[in-house]
Amino acid sequence: MDRPLTVLPTALEAQVKARPLPRHVGIIMDGNGRWAELRGQPRLEGHREGSVSVREVTRAARRLGVQALTLYAFSSQNWARPPEEVAGLMELLREYLESERAEILDNGIRLNAIGEVDKLPRYVREPLERLRADSAHNTGMVLTLALSYGGREELLRAARDLAQAAARGELDPAHLDADDLESRLWTAGLPPVDLIVRTSGEQRISNFLLWQLAYAELCFTDALWPDFRTEEFLRCLSQYQGRERRFGLTSAQVNRDDTPQRAKA
């Protein structure tokens, strides 16, 4: 990805914190398996090292004042991976929920989860639901884990909900609008997604937040997820801050004082 001038991480953090931040950052955490394979290790070791990046990036986002951070932890399609890898990932998820519980609660973070969470094994669902409930009244950053998540699956579920509501006479199909659909998405209530980051050099979205990224900035970095730590995260935020967000308008319109707030966000 394009890099700003080299600066010390502490100076870069101060620089980023002084400029408008994205309200909601989504991250496609890619490259764990490749990181391990490059080192001759089992793929699960890459996922384990990737959990360190989760901790570090979450801390950085909270410290900077990002309102919401959504991490693509396990996709709907990941269930098709080798059973031993899926089992290992579920165990790592359980370990994460238990090891990070105190930090999440002590720092006022609200834990959220999106996706077909009911498909997760009970030994993952139970600590997940406990931590969601115990952190529900926290007012700091919202940390959302996308688990058994797929953007197409989310949209299909929302469409079914709308169709059922229309069939019951609760909605007039002729007057449906974007708000009606957004209220039925798993991300309902979260701030608009301003920035999507994908690690590992791949440049695709992979079924992540398909509706929500309509006006999001995209940042692709070559760093594999286990190597994506605070400095790389800061560089992505700095890149975002250097872009002009027009939302379909012209530069002149965006820079006018009477421009709608959405165009200035």
Give me the active site residues, please: 30, 78
Residue 215 to residue 79: CA distance in whole angstroms: 29
* 211 has binding-site annotation: no
Cβ neighbours of residue 111 closer than 8 Å, sequence gap 6 or more: 104, 128, 131, 132, 135, 143, 144, 145
Closest to 147 in 3D by CA, of 71, 80, 216, 221 = 71
* 242 has binding-site annotation: no
* 81 has binding-site annotation: yes
Cβ neighbours around 160 below 10 Å, total: 11
* 196 has binding-site annotation: no
Cβ neighbours around 156 below 10 Å, total: 11
Cβ neighbours of residue 158 closer than 8 Å, sequence gap 6 or more: 181, 184, 185
* 137 has binding-site annotation: no
Residue 117 to residue 134: CA distance in whole angstroms: 18
* 217 has binding-site annotation: yes
* 37 has binding-site annotation: no
* 3 has binding-site annotation: no
CB 46 within 8 A of CB 200: no
* 32 has binding-site annotation: yes
* 112 has binding-site annotation: no
Q: Classify residue 220 as left (phi > 0), alpha (psi -120 to 50) or beta.
A: beta
Backbone φ and ψ for 217, nearest 5 degrees, come out as -80, 145
State the chain's maximal CA–CA distance in angstroms. Answer: 60
Cβ neighbours of residue 90 closer than 8 Å, sequence gap 6 or more: 120, 121, 123, 124
* 204 has binding-site annotation: yes
Query: Residues at the annotated binding site for substrate?
Result: 31-35, 43, 47, 79, 81, 198, 204-206
Query: Residues at the annotated binding site?
Result: 30-35, 43, 47, 79, 81, 198, 204-206, 217
Query: Residues at the annotated binding site for Mg(2+)?
Result: 30, 217
